[in-house]
């Protein structure tokens, strides 16, 4: 079938490397997982392609005039879930309480919320532990569920994803969103159809009547599917094929900077680690070793050879979109093999050591190839790396369960604020915070500053605290920044959509000509 025929149809045949990890709205805070769920579920508010807030299930929100610790949300009236149930404040209270459960991967985002109150059917108050001036920024991926449906299907508890649990909410959905789930075969195909009763049916283009979402892990196969017309929207085309795709009749490539950084994490907190050949010691606990490893990485070579120019070398793990990012810190990573070797010798590892690098092979642009390049670069300073590349469904639990000592991770920041990075990646690991911090870093003074960010209404003082936390992250070399991703979407020339810096296409905005 030709690509022209497909784009003239109302079916969006959408492919990318990986699938949603689960449909449970609160089980995983992961980009592709959110993206699939955004078609079926909705939060109170979202960001548009420019990063500006846009009303979703809430029509307005503001701090309470009488209590600085309260945010008041007015809910959209007349909204129904796919099953016909009415959306009310009761569902909002239920969804927030569910998202705060121990198994939820969203709990860090709403950790400052101590109570959720239904004032009436269409008014909700979120009570925070101290004023929280940026609370709405944390809610753009916090999806609302129907309380009755969840109770009827025994899904009031969040799926234990890391424990391998499967629940009804894992493969079924009942949201208020623009598309209704028809079938779900994990890692094979997910089919959704247009919700003709959607509250925004006349506000958005809604020209796609059917979505067929197909994860295709093999890069060549993904591109071949696009070129043959089997697919008419490819979210992650391979960088080496961008020219060929753009030159193909009926196809276009659209590009934008992405709100995401790719980096390596290192376990510096353990006295000894399993993945190395050094008995009774952890070479990664020495900051000189961490800095040497960072200096061994040639980011310009990765940009030119691996990414074909489609990346921007990074010196910190915050994208330029984020409050707290500075050009000075982002320029701090440099390649210096001589200094790196001297630091290794000074730390007592002049003869090097071996180490396992855990890497995904279906999540980030050229993720495994980046890891392969890093293996050779680190070998130049005596760090002999054994690469363990596997799908993200197996890779991510290694980080969240503390079973990896050296790993690749990418991080986008939907809140556009450094607090989001600190809560997940810098704060010491606790039951409700620091869940993606695989570095073992745990500093009480830093943790106290991070927690204060949620309630500090003096923005100048807050930004000063953010800068001081970043200085610790940089000086301790908690992570090895690699690059900021450049985002490319490839599609039939009749598919109309602007590239979203979050890499989160929302199909209700698509046009099909």
pLDDT tens figures, 10-66 = 999 999 999 999 999 999 999 999 999 999 999 999 998 888 999 999 999 999 999
Residues 6+ apart with CB under 8 A from 371: 357, 359, 387, 389, 408
Distance CA 431, CA 14 (A): 36
pLDDT digits (tens, 9 = 90+) for 484-508: 999 999 999 999 999 999 999 999 9
pLDDT at 437: 97
pTM over 0.85: yes
Mean pLDDT (whole number) for 181-204: 97
Mean pLDDT (whole number) for 68-93: 98
Q: How far apart are the first and last CA of the chain?
A: 17
Report which of 280, 294, 349, 272 is spatially closest to residue 478, judged by C-alpha positions.
294
Structural domains of the chain sorted by starting position, each given as residue range(s) with its CATH number in brackets: 10-211+493-512 (3.40.190.10), 258-486 (3.10.105.10)
Q: Which helix (H) or strand (E) holds 333?
A: none
Mean pLDDT (whole number) for 324-346: 98
- Is the pLDDT confidence value at 318 over 80? yes
pLDDT digits (tens, 9 = 90+) for 126-136: 999 999 999 99
Rounded to the nearest integer, the mean pLDDT of the chain is 96
Residues 6+ apart with CB under 8 A from 30: 21, 105, 392, 396
Mean pLDDT (whole number) for 103-114: 95
pLDDT digits (tens, 9 = 90+) for 370-407: 999 999 999 999 999 999 999 999 999 999 999 999 99
pLDDT at 8: 40
Distance CA 506, CA 200 (A): 13
Report which of 486, 502, 15 is spatially closest to residue 262, judged by C-alpha positions.
486
pLDDT at 322: 97
Confidence of residue 431 (pLDDT cuts 50, 70, 90): confident
DSSP 210-270: EEEEEE--SHHHHHHHHHHTS-SEESS--GGGHHHHHHSTTEEEEEEEEEEEEEEEE--S-
Distance CA 477, CA 96 (A): 35
pLDDT digits (tens, 9 = 90+) for 197-235: 999 999 999 999 999 999 999 999 999 999 999 999 999
Mean pLDDT (whole number) for 434-442: 96
Helix %, strand %, coil % of the chain (to 5): 30, 25, 45
Q: Which helix (H) or strand (E) holds 482?
A: strand 479-492
pLDDT at 5: 38
Q: Where are the beta strands (DSSP E) in 297-421?
A: 311-313, 353-360, 383-390, 406-412
pLDDT digits (tens, 9 = 90+) for 244-266: 999 999 999 999 999 999 999 99
């Amino acid at each position: 079938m030709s690509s022209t025929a497909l784009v003239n149809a109302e079916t969006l045949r959408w492919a990318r490397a990986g699938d949603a990890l689960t449909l449970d709205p609160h089980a995983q805070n992961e980009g592709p997982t959110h993206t699939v769920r955004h078609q079926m579920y909705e939060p109170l508010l979202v960001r548009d392609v420019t990063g500006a807030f846009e009303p979703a299930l809430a029509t307005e929100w503001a701090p309470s005039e009488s209590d600085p610790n309260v945010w008041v949300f007015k809910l959209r009236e007349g909204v129904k879930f796919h099953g016909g149930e009415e959306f009310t404040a009761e569902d909002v209270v239920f969804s927030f309480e569910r998202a705060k459960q121990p198994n939820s991967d969203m709990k860090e985002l709403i950790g400052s919320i101590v109570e959720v109150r239904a004032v009436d059917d269409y008014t909700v108050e979120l009570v925070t532990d101290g004023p929280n001036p940026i609370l709405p920024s944390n809610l753009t991926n916090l999806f609302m569920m129907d309380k009755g449906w969840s109770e009827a299907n025994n899904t009031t508890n969040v799926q234990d994803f890391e424990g391998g649990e499967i629940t009804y909410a894992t493969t079924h959905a009942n949201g208020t969103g623009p598309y209704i789930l028809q079938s779900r075969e994990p890692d094979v195909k997910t089919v959704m159809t247009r919700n003709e009763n959607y509250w925004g049916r006349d506000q958005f283009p809604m020209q796609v009547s059917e979505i067929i979402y197909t994860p295709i892990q093999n890069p060549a196969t993904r591109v071949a599917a696009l070129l043959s017309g089997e697919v008419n929207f490819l979210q992650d085309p391979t960088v080496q094929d961008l020219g060929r795709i753009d030159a193909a009749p009926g196809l276009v490539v659209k590009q934008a900077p992405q709100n995401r950084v790719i980096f390596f994490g290192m376990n510096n907190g353990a006295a000894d680690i399993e993945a190395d050949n050094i008995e009774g010691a952890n070479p990664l606990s020495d900051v000189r070793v961490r800095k040497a490893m960072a200096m061994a990485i040639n980011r310009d070579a990765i940009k030119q050879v691996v990414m074909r120019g489609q990346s921007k070398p990074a010196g910190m793990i915050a994208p330029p979109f984020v409050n707290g990012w500075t050009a000075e810190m982002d320029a701090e990573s440099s390649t210096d093999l001589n200094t790196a070797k001297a630091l290794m010798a000074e730390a007592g590892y002049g003869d090097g050591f071996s180490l396992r690098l855990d890497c995904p092979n279906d999540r980030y642009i050229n993720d495994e190839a980046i890891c392969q390049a890093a293996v050779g670069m680190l070998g130049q300073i005596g760090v002999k790396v054994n690469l363990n590349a596997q799908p993200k469904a197996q890779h991510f639990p290694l980080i969240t369960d503390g079973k990896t000592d050296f790993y690749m991770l990418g991080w986008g920041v939907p809140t556009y604020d450094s607090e989001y990075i600190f809560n997940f990646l810098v704060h010491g690991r606790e039951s409700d915070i620091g869940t993606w911090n695989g570095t073992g870093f745990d500093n009480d003074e830093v943790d106290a500053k991070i927690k204060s960010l949620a309630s500090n209404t003096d923005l100048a003082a807050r930004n000063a605290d953010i800068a001081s936390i970043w200085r610790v992250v940089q000086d301790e070399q908690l992570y090895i920044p690699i690059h900021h991703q450049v985002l490319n979407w490839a599609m039939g020339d009749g598919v109309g959509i602007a590239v979203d810096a979050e890499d989160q296409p929302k199909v209700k905005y698509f046009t099909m000509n």
